[in-house]
Amino acid sequence: MFMTGYTGNLLAMVKAKNPNEPEFHQAVEEVVESLTLVLDRYPEYRSAKILERIVEPERVIMFRVPWMDDQGEIHVNRGFRIEMNSAIGPYKGGLRFHPSVNLGILKFLAFEQVFKNSLTTLPMGGGKGGSDFDPKGKSDTEVMRFCQSFMTELCRHIGPDTDVPAGDIGVGGREIGFLFGQYKRLKNEFTGVLTGKGLNWGGSLIRPEATGYGAAYFAAEMLSTRAQTLQGKVCLVSGSGNVAQYTVEKINQLGGKAVTLSDSSGYIYDEAGIDEKKLKFIMDLKNVHRGRIKEYTDNFKGVVFTPFDPELDYNPLWNHKAQCAFPSATQNEINGKDAKNLLANGIYCVAEGANMPTTIEGVKAFLDAKILYGPGKAANAGGVATSGLEMAQNSMRMSWSREEVDSRLHQIMKNIHKACFETSERFGTPGNYVNGANIAGFLKVADAMMDQGLV
Ligand code: NDP
């Protein structure tokens, strides 16, 4: 949308001040568009320059990460931590290791995280970090040396009451273990400085499952507003990492049928459905052998693998008949054309496991069609919410049962859905979860910033 007046000027300022960061501009644009509804009603946020402050990170840390591969060759990567906003709690957000990582991508993720964490109702500020290091094809010892070098610098800036990183793309249980080990060694402290830890050294049950489970719970809540459930629904899922795997698991448990999964080399379409046994194969393939999605076709009949084609201006994964879609790979994986294909194929419920997987054009198509569209900062908030529960357990030096954490997660997702739904109504756009999530997330942070003075 073309914005004018105060919000138009703000967006122009953000673009001028942060050149070459299109993903950050996109994330700010989407939020600011929703917030025009708030600023008209509460001009005090405008005079306190809350928006001008909220788009400026409190702190950006950028550092050199030198490491040596198994052949003795030296490599240099770049490390980052964006400490975006601490108005309602310590900075909290994942670390991403992927060759595409740069300052703009991490700023978009940190910005989204501020609103998402606010929505969880837990006391967590927003942050994000990572590196352009690519763990793909690296040995365990190479990944360990990289993580140790990365943490040697990062440990100066984080702490259980300051900034608590977690995993994201390319950072799973293995990497969190190496990072935690090095932090503990350097600081001589065993604290809850990272979440996503192993179960026997401070981790929480259900944390690995939480983002995917939460996305499915959120979809179920959206469907319930139209007196429907996931039972019998055909679901398109992208990605095959942490979020995608547990999204499929929960879809199956709730009676749905997932028919696709992908990685950066292509996607599989399994019309019969990715059942428990097939999902176990995927988990072993991706989490243990670190193989490619195509190998699924060698093991199961009636499956079609379609390689990634950079020449196409759409993703064929989104061009199958289904009712629900769960984008769970990466940002901007659904463009305007994909959104139209999804709608034409009968999709009426989209729950974003990934962060900002839909372009602005795609979001507009979903909103215009008035389908159930749950944006990432609401639909995938179950991961960070359960990280918040891990922090609580660490502080109490206790651990809760699987059932207890899962039921808290489920309740949090219901509360997030309710907050988004009711806020969208309060601001005159009923059923618009984008406005609901942005506004509900914003109000709590903005009020805390107002209370805390000009800092
Ligand atoms: P993983 O690294 O476990 O899995 C990522 C998956 O997406 C892989 O299958 C990967 O394929 C694919 N992928 C990543 N980048 C690209 C790309 N540029 N093009 C095509 N495919 C790609 O990450 P997660 O599952 O943890 O994260 C997935 C998404 O969910 C991200 O957007 C993340 O920010 C978001 N998220 C994650 C949370 C968590 O708790 N982990 C919490 C909230 C959001 P390949 O292996 O070939 O690269």
- Within-domain flag for 316: yes
Please identify, by atom number, the ligand 1 atom nearest to the C-alpha of residue 196. 40
Please tell me the predicted confidence (pLDDT) of residue 3. Answer: 76
Whole-angstrom Cα distance, residue 440 to residue 244? 27
Residues with CB under 6 A from ligand 1: 100, 167-170, 172, 211, 239-244, 263-265, 328-330, 353-355, 380, 383
Chain segment 191-205, per-residue pLDDT in tens: 999 999 999 999 999
Would residue 245 count as lying in a domain?
yes
Residue 40 lies in a domain: no
Ramachandran area for residue 332 (φ above 0: left; ψ -120 to 50: alpha; else beta): left
Together in a domain, 367 and 255: yes
216 and 129 in a common domain: no
For the question of residue 280 being annotated catalytic, the response is no
Q: Tens of pLDDT along 13-31?
A: 999 999 999 999 999 999 9
Q: What percent of the chain has pLDDT over 70?
A: 100
Above 80 in pLDDT, residue 130?
A: yes
pLDDT digits (tens, 9 = 90+) for 294-331: 999 999 999 999 999 999 999 999 999 999 999 999 99
Residue 94 has pLDDT above 90, yes or no: yes
Q: What is the value of pTM for the model shown?
A: 0.97
CATH number of the structural domain spanning residue 139: 3.40.50.10860
* pLDDT at 216 > cutoff 90: yes
* Distance of alpha carbon 324 from alpha carbon 235, whole angstroms: 5
For the cut 90, the answer to whether the pLDDT of residue 117 exceeds it is: yes
Looking at the 3D structure of the chain, how many domains does it have? Answer: 2
CATH number of the domain where residue 284 is located = 3.40.50.720
Do residue 215 and residue 315 come from a single domain? Answer: yes
280 shares a domain with 136 = no
pLDDT confidence band for 1 (50 / 70 / 90): low
Q: Which domain holds residue 185?
A: 59-189
Q: How many CA atoms lie within 13 A of 85 on its CB side?
A: 34
Give yes or no: residues 160 and 244 share one domain.
no
Does the residue 174 lie in any domain?
yes
Q: How far is the CA of 47 from the centre of ligand 1 (A)?
A: 39
Q: Which of 322, 348, 374 is the last residue of a domain?
A: 374
Which CA distances in Å does 226 have to 109, 129, 433? Answer: 31, 38, 14
pLDDT digits (tens, 9 = 90+) for 331-383: 999 999 999 999 999 999 999 999 999 999 999 999 999 999 999 999 999 99
Do 137 and 253 belong together in one domain?
Answer: no
Are 277 and 351 found together in one domain? yes
Nearest to 205 by CA among 393, 377, 396, 416: 393
